[in-house]
Every structure is written in structure tokens, then in C-alpha cells.
A and B are shown apart, each in its own frame.
Chain A
Amino acid sequence: MDFLLDSLISSFMLVASLDRELFSVVAVSLKVSITSSLFASMIGMPFGFFVAIESFKGKRMLITCLNTLLALPTVVIGLFVYALISRRGIFGPFDLLYTQKAIIIGQTILIVPVVATFTIAAISRIDDRYRKTAMTLGANRFQTIFVIIREARFGIAAAVIAAFGRVVSEVGISMMLGGNARGFTRTMTTAMALEYDKGEFTLAVALGIILLSVSFGINLLFHFFQGRTGQ
């Protein structure tokens, strides 16, 4: 019990002292997670929207596949992307392995299904009367799409938040494709794993506190906006 308490106190002191190494790790982690979330949103949102509003053969099977991909282990993606970007892979000449770009690629692949499935759920929940109302008020196809997206904005925001939460807390891809290089590709989760291996719990717990605070802060912000519009 003393051990846990000591670790917690030391961790809070480390956060309070604005430790340079600690914040370098946090900065790298946030940078790659935000970037991969943005890329995944750019791919997953339009894809999810298309799947939700269009009727086509194999739609249900596609949704089932996307749901299955939600449970894709990070190490499988790590291995797959490694095979593509290692020196012997087809993207080997781009020298991407053990860079932040490699982590971003892997994380984007990880969360595209998350953004897509959450977007499908958000759009599908929107009452069809919104589409018909927009049409009867004279909206063209794009204006109607804009209305639907606007009505589903909180569901879509939830998709991005869920995706960000998934990448900011993953270890496998960051470790396998980033290599945990200090000050360069070391993220919060890989740093925590390393500190654990070394038996140094202070930095690990401090990073854990920050990781939880980041997630809590984002969710708080989301609920704040939700509350304002009475959704």
C-alpha cells in the first residue's frame, strides 16, 4: 500500500514539476494520436456516411466485417504494416519504419473501422424525416447531406472521440512500428511499458495519470457541448 501511495505522490510531483521528458512523451503521443484520428476521420466518416445512406448489395456483410475489424489486435496491424514498410516491404524505399509516420499509418488503419462503424450508427439513428424535410424545403443532394451530418454531429463527434481514445491508449502499433525511440517515437503507452520493465513506476504512473486526464478532459468537453444544445 505504501509503495502505491509513494508512487502516486512522486507521480503528481513529477507532473507538477513539468518534467521535460514526461512532457516530450506526452507531446509525441498526442501528436501521433491526433494526426491518426484526423486521417481516420477523413476516410472513415465519408465511408460510414455512404454505407449508412446508400442501399447496395452486401451492405449487411460489409457492416459485419467492419464490426469484426473493431476487435482487430494492434499487434496484427503492427505486423501487417511492418511487412509493408520494412526494408524488404513494397514501401521499404520510403524509409518509414521506426518513425512517427509509421505509427500514424498503423493507428489510422486501426481506427478507420471505429470511425466508420460509429458514423454508420450515428447516421442510421437520424430520423428519415430530416432528409425528407430538407428535400421538401428545396435542398439539393449536398445540402440534404449537410443537414443529416449536422443532425448527427454529436454521434459523429463521439466516433472521433472513441477513435482517439483507442489510439492514445494502444501499445502494439507504437512499439512495433515506432520502436520506442526516446524523444522521437516514445509515446505514453510505450514509455509506461518500458518504465514497468525497468521497475520504475513513478514515470509510468505519472503517464497513466496524464493519459486518464486527457481522456477525461475530452469526454468532459464533449458532454459540455452536448449539454449546451440539449441533445
Chain B
Amino acid sequence: MTAYSLSQVTKVYGKKTVLDIDSLKIEKGAIYALLGPNGAGKTTLLKILGFLDYPTTGNIYFQSTPVTFSQGFLHPLRRKVVMVSQRPILFTTTVYKNLEFGLKIRKVPKKKRDRIIAESLDLVGMNHMVQAQAHKLSGGETQRVALARAVALSPDVILCDEPTSSVDLENQITIINLLRQINKEKKLTLVFTSHDKLQATSLAHQTLFLDQGRLATASYENLFTAVLTAKERGLAQCVIQNSLTLSISSDKTGKVRLLIDPEKIDIAKNVENRNRENHLQGKVVQVAQEKGKIRVVVKSGVYITLLLSLEKYSEVQPMVGETVHISIAPDAVKII
């Protein structure tokens, strides 16, 4: 079943189109990661999905019902979708009262409220803080209580805007595990935004990529800002994030945005000619299966994602932590 179905959705602020989505379907019960650079429109899309903002044009269906963006219509929908913002804010009262707020306005009886609050706090490991003043909690604790506050309402969808961006590494792992657990136990749809490709691909069933308000296909994930300099041997020298230089076929110069096709990157454990064009050495940081392919993420100055066929994977068998050699063909790089 489809949780959301969007078609021709745009959001325009002044003269700037910040969101322009031709078509998007979000399946019920799945985890979706929304990736993209700053200003790509991730939070705007999340707010529209959370019925906290309205699209300038387009149609949205929520659970097969067309959404009318009027106050009276949106209020019941908001009770099915909870958004946890990037830096969640807790009301200046106790943790208990924070969780009680949504339940109270849904007229849940006191005994049931107490039980749900205890269960939700237990889920995030914050039961011992039930009577603590919420505004005195640390960033990680705040994020966990905000998640518990969302889960307590048993929504159909939870939207998380960069859930781990404002917490330390230990809490990042806790929150990722929590999101996975919540999705599994509560069977709810989870959409989260992230900058972290590794984190997103490890948690999500589906990865969506937004760039300048538009959806790109999941394979377009090696998106970089680069600077093209003078040509050498007929190829332009492309410096990616000051840490990686590639030779590519292009007549352009200056600052560009480019994509490296993850299916056109070759991988080997040992190579004879290390001096050939666009040869890089890096460490494998992730290996995962995705839609009949194997995703391998290699850290070589920047994170580069490769999508390998099963045959290629069996041949090379890259392992996490291993050093591998990759080569990027000049035609694998596309300037956008």
C-alpha cells in the first residue's frame, strides 16, 4: 500500500523554485532516506509530507486520499504524521508532560496515557528521566525523548529531519538503531533526511536523492562540487573537494557539479599499472546488497559509491576495511 503519492509537486518561494517533483511514491511501512546537499529541498519536502507546509502546485495523495491543503482538512492528517525536526525542541516542562501533550489532546484516558508514556520512554531508554525537566536534557537525550514523543502517538508516518546531525557519535548509533527498531516493531513508515550517504544506505530500504529541488535516481549518488582546471593531454583536470583529482572529457572550466556513475567504476584488489588515468586507491567502508547489485562504498579522499554486478563482486570480493584499487573511466563522469 502507498503511504504518499506525489505528482507535479512544486514549492516556490518568491521567484525561486525550491522543490520540483514530477512523481514520487512512498510505500507504507518502509524506511526512506532523503539525501542531498544543503538547500536541495529536503526539509521543504519533509514539511509538505508532514502537512506543515503546502505545495505551490501539484497533487498529493495520503493513504490513497487526495490532500486538500486547508486548515480543517490538514488537522486530522497531522494526527497520523509526526515530524521530528533537526534540532527538536521540548516544551519547558517535564519529560512526562512532553509525552503526555499529544496523548492528552487525543483524549487518551489517564491510565492508558501512563502506560504508553512508560512504554515509549522504555523504547528509547529514557524511563529513568520521566520526571526530569526536559529543557535540561543533553542533545542526544532530547533527540531520544522527541522520538519517544512521536512514537507515543502511534502515527502512521514519522518524518525525521537529520535525526543524527546534532548529536555525538554514541547517540548517533543509538538513534539509528532506535529508528530501525521503531520501524520494525511499530510497522510505521519512516522518512528521514541525511547528509550521510553511508548512514542513509545502511538504514533505509529506499534512498531518494534531491538536488536543487529535483529528485534524481538513486544511482546518481556520487554527486560532487568540483573545479575544472586547465587541460592536460586533451582531458580537463577536475579537482573534487580539494582532495581528489580526475581527468575528464569536458570543455568547461571553473566550478561545476558532477556525477560519477557508480556502475561505471571498475574495482580490483591488485593492479599492474597504477599510473593509468583516474586510478585511485581507497579503503572499503561499506558493502551492502541492493536490488540485485552490490553497493560498495570506498573512501578515497571522498566517499565513492560503486554498484557492482554479482559476478564482479564474486570475482573481487571486497571486504570492509580492505584496501582496493578503483578506476573511473573519463566517460563515467557527467557534468550537470
Contacts and interface: CB of A to CB of B under 8 A. Distances in A.
Contact of A137 (B87, B101, B135): B101
Contacts of B233: none
B131 interface: no
A138 interface: yes
Contacts of A133: 85, 88-89, 91
B105 A130 contact: no
Contacts of B78: 135-136, 138
Interface stretch (A82-90, A105-113, A139-147, A156-164): A139-147
B82 interface: yes
Which of A134, A137, A140 lies at the interface centre, i.e. has the most chain B CB atoms within 10 A of its CB?
A137
Interface in B128-142: 133, 135-136
A143 B92 contact: no
Given A141-B71, A230-B136, A136 B50 contact: yes
A132 B85 contact: yes
A138 B91 contact: no
A139 B149 CA distance: 14
A129 interface: yes
B298 interface: no
A134 B85 CA distance: 12
A195 interface: no
A231 B92 contact: yes
A151 B91 CA distance: 7
A132 B52 contact: yes
Given A151-B91, A230-B136, A137 B85 contact: no
Main secondary structure of the interface of A (DSSP, over half): helix
A129 B89 contact: yes
Main secondary structure of the interface of B (DSSP, over half): mixed
A170 B52 CA distance: 47
B82 A137 contact: yes
A136 B82 contact: yes
B117 interface: no
Which of A133, A140, A230 lies at the interface centre, i.e. has the most chain B CB atoms within 10 A of its CB?
A133
A151 B82 contact: no
Given A143-B105, A230-B133, A136 B52 contact: yes
B153 A138 contact: yes
Interface in B18-59: 50, 52
Interface in B49-86: 50, 52, 71, 75, 78-79, 81-83, 85
A229 interface: yes
Interface in B143-185: 149, 153
A188 to B, nearest CB: 36
A127 B89 contact: yes
A38 B310 CA distance: 77
B102 interface: yes
B88 to A, nearest CB: 7
Contact of B91 (A140, A141, A150, A231): A150
A138 B102 contact: yes
Contacts of A141: 71
B112 interface: no
5 contacts: A132-B52, A132-B83, A138-B79, A138-B106, A230-B136
Interface of A: 127, 129-130, 132-141, 143, 147, 150-151, 229-231
Q: Give the 5 A-B residue pairs with the shortest CB-CB distance, closest first.
A: A137-B102, A129-B89, A138-B79, A136-B83, A136-B82
Given A132-B52, A136-B78, A141-B71, 20 more contacts: A127-B89, A130-B89, A135-B52, A135-B78, A136-B50, A137-B82, A137-B101, A137-B102, A137-B105, A137-B149, A137-B153, A138-B75, A138-B106, A138-B153, A147-B91, A147-B101, A151-B92, A229-B133, A230-B135, A231-B92
